[in-house]
Amino acid sequence: MGAAERRGGMKTSRPVAAIAAGFATLALVIGFASPAVASPPVSSINLNCDKLAAAVDPPASFTVPVAQRYASASLERDFGGIPDTDYVQMAGGLACEWSNNLPLAPGSSAGGVGVRVEYLPYAASGYWRWASVLGPVTTPDDFTCVSVPSDSCQFMSSAGGDWLFVEVQDASSEAVAEDLSRRISTALQLGQKTPYVPPVYATPLPHTCQTLIRPTVYGAAIGTRTPLVAWPAPPGWSPVNSAMLINRGLFCEMDDATGSFGGGRIQALPGGQWAFALLRSSLTTPGPLTPLRAAGMRAGDAAFTRCDATHRHCVLDALIATHWIEVDLLPSTLGGDLITRDRLTASRLLLREIVGQIYP
């Protein structure tokens, strides 16, 4: 299952309190210190993953040992891209994972065991949008399982006017998986919520992919004469879609007008420099982080490329005005079949465009 497919309806993070407490130390350890780095988000609920674990004891639902993980790191490792959980957290939500540190992907035979939680307060309308196209679902919660090749269950709920997504992989039984999901829902509804107040940025992120990187400029950068269209992604509907609406996050595929041929993928997390800092040590695919500069970058800005040895796959991570913008120049076999220019060269051209569009 690819990243875009996964975002159609499933996903997570360590406690926000733990992130905040460890941020300064982590920034020094990974060598990323900047006066412009935005602070980690504050959850709209007074629960964190530690408190949720104390209330529901997730490890007791599994026959193999599972432990609390940083779900954003797990998702980036398993699927790449800016993790869904970072968007959820940036919108005041909560994301948690308890696993054996193997991929938790429905239908996967990778041996993953555990549970992921994504909780977005005040987002029940998104649940009903999801429900209207799935079945349709007519109840305020839904629990389903598939058993091949592994037992994977999903629970969605609009209880309390919120949107909760729980993914359980290989619990002791499906009944245990459902019981765990519903206990998680109950525990979250007992928490106290505060209204989410979107942050205000001194330099806002452009609100669409085509204003962040103009399709004509993108096409010239990758060396194609095919007119490009920014196709909104991810498909389907899930908490991450709702979170993106709340915090104006971006995710799109830059493809031809039919969507049949691809030029890569754009993601942007407003104020997301904190998320990059926490993940930096694990951002090693398809190659190591290599610093990159472009005219117009300001104090506190940074950019990096990650390329394989042959430049058949490169990822650009641009940290501009506290925002995290990622452009994945995919291999031709994975949606980059329109890219004819060396991907490292294309990354430099795209960085210049991003800087120019954020700082017009």
Element (H, E) at 67: strand 67-69
In whole angstroms, give the CA distance from residue 313 to residue 290.
Answer: 14
pLDDT at 248 over 50: yes
Q: Give the tens place of pLDDT for each residue, 335-349.
A: 999 999 999 999 999
Q: What is the pLDDT of residue 37?
A: 53
pLDDT at 110 over 90: no
131 or 236, which is more confident?
131
| Cβ-based neighbour number of residue 295 at 10 Å | 8
Q: What is the pLDDT of residue 38?
A: 60
Mean pLDDT score, 231-257 = 90
What is the overall mean pLDDT for the chain?
88
**Residue 357: which pLDDT band, with cuts at 50, 70 and 90?**
very high
Q: Measured between alpha carbons, how far is residue 334 from residues 139, 222, 232, 279 in Å?
A: 37, 15, 17, 24
3-state secondary structure of 124: helix
pLDDT at 109 over 90: no
In whole angstroms, give the CA distance from residue 34 to residue 273.
Answer: 10
Q: Measured between alpha carbons, how far is residue 194 from residues 21, 45, 237 in Å?
A: 21, 6, 25
pLDDT at 334 over 70: yes
**Residue 93: which pLDDT band, with cuts at 50, 70 and 90?**
very high
Mean pLDDT score, 144-151 = 84
Q: Which residues of 61-71 are buried (b: 16+ CB within 10 A; e: fewer)?
A: bbeeebebbbb
pLDDT at 323 over 60: yes
Mean pLDDT score, 197-226 = 96
Q: Give the tens place of pLDDT for each residue, 40-77.
A: 788 999 999 999 999 999 999 999 999 999 999 999 99
Q: What is the pLDDT of residue 233?
A: 76
150 or 266, which is more confident?
266
Q: How far is CA 279 from the centre of its chain?
A: 12
Q: What is the pLDDT of residue 162?
A: 96
CA angle 171-46-10, nearest 5°? 40
Q: What is the pLDDT of residue 135?
A: 74
Percent of the chain with pLDDT over 90: 78
CA angle 358-2-211, nearest 5°? 20
In whole angstroms, give the CA distance from residue 226 to residue 224.
Answer: 5
Mean pLDDT score, 199-223 = 96
Q: What residue segments make up the domains of the chain, in order of their start?
A: 3-189, 209-358
pTM for the model stands at: 0.88
Q: Give the tens place of pLDDT for each residue, 2-42.
A: 333 333 333 222 233 333 333 332 332 233 333 345 667 88
Q: What is the pLDDT of residue 44?
A: 94
Q: Give the tens place of pLDDT for each residue, 157-190.
A: 999 999 999 999 999 999 999 999 999 999 999 9
3-state secondary structure of 241: helix
In whole angstroms, give the CA distance from residue 153 to residue 78.
Answer: 19
In terms of Cα–Cα distance, which of 269, 273, 303, 205 is closest to 37?
273
| Residue 35, phi then psi, degrees to nearest 5 | -65, -15
In whole angstroms, give the CA distance from residue 321 to residue 301.
Answer: 6
